[in-house]
């Protein structure tokens, strides 16, 4: 433990760094969606790894089984919120970045096993689509978003029945 977050100690620190690069790339002065998409893809790889892992206990005991430390719980939804929320909020007027987000949520949905993880992914898919529906008026583009959202929901529903 130390006074500052480090990549070795805090996964959220790493997620925030990639998120910040993506946000800077999406800023009006830079407007570099390709860099933002590269960041989103890396964030998705990390989230995919988390889908396969169990999260550590929040309670730590000594050899005598006395509670010695309670830490803030870490879960997939919180990390996904950190990875996707601000990026989603910065890109509703374009199509490439939200479509990338939805494609990546679809990939993650195919891997999700835990109910809480599935709910988190569906939440993000709906939020991304809603932001696009509010800001993109082209019918063809709206249809692409709607098709991707429906595909995510279908995968999540199918996986819920089979798991």
pLDDT tens-place string over residues 71-98: 888 899 999 999 999 999 988 778 999 9
Q: Higher-confidence residue: 123 or 135?
A: 123
Residue 60's beta-bridge partner residues?
A: 69
Spatial separation of the C-alpha atoms in residues 48 and 64, rounded to whole Å? 37
pLDDT at 160: 64
Nearest partner of 134 among 71, 88, 85, judged by Cα: 88
For 39, other C-beta atoms within 10 Å of its C-beta total 23
Of the pLDDT bands very low, low, confident and very high (cuts 50, 70, 90), residue 139 is very high
Residues 31-74 have pLDDT tens digits of 899 999 999 999 999 999 999 988 888 899 999 999 999 988 88
């Amino acid at each position: 433990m130390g006074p500052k977050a480090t990549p070795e100690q805090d996964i959220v620190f790493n997620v925030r760094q990639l998120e910040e690069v993506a946000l800077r790339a999406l800023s009006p002065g830079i407007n570099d969606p390709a860099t933002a998409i590269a960041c989103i893809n890396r964030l998705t790889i990390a989230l995919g790894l988390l889908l396969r892992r169990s999260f550590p206990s929040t309670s730590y005991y000594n050899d005598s089984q006395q509670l010695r430390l309670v830490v803030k719980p870490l879960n997939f939804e919180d990390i996904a919120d950190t990875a996707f929320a601000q990026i989603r909020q910065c890109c509703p007027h374009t199509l490439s970045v939200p479509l990338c987000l939805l494609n990546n949520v679809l990939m993650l949905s195919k891997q999700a096993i835990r109910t809480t993880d599935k709910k988190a992914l569906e939440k993000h898919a709906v939020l991304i689509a809603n932001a696009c529906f509010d800001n993109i008026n082209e019918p063809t583009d709206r249809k692409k978003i709607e098709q991707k959202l429906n595909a995510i929901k279908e995968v999540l529903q199918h996986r819920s029945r089979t798991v």
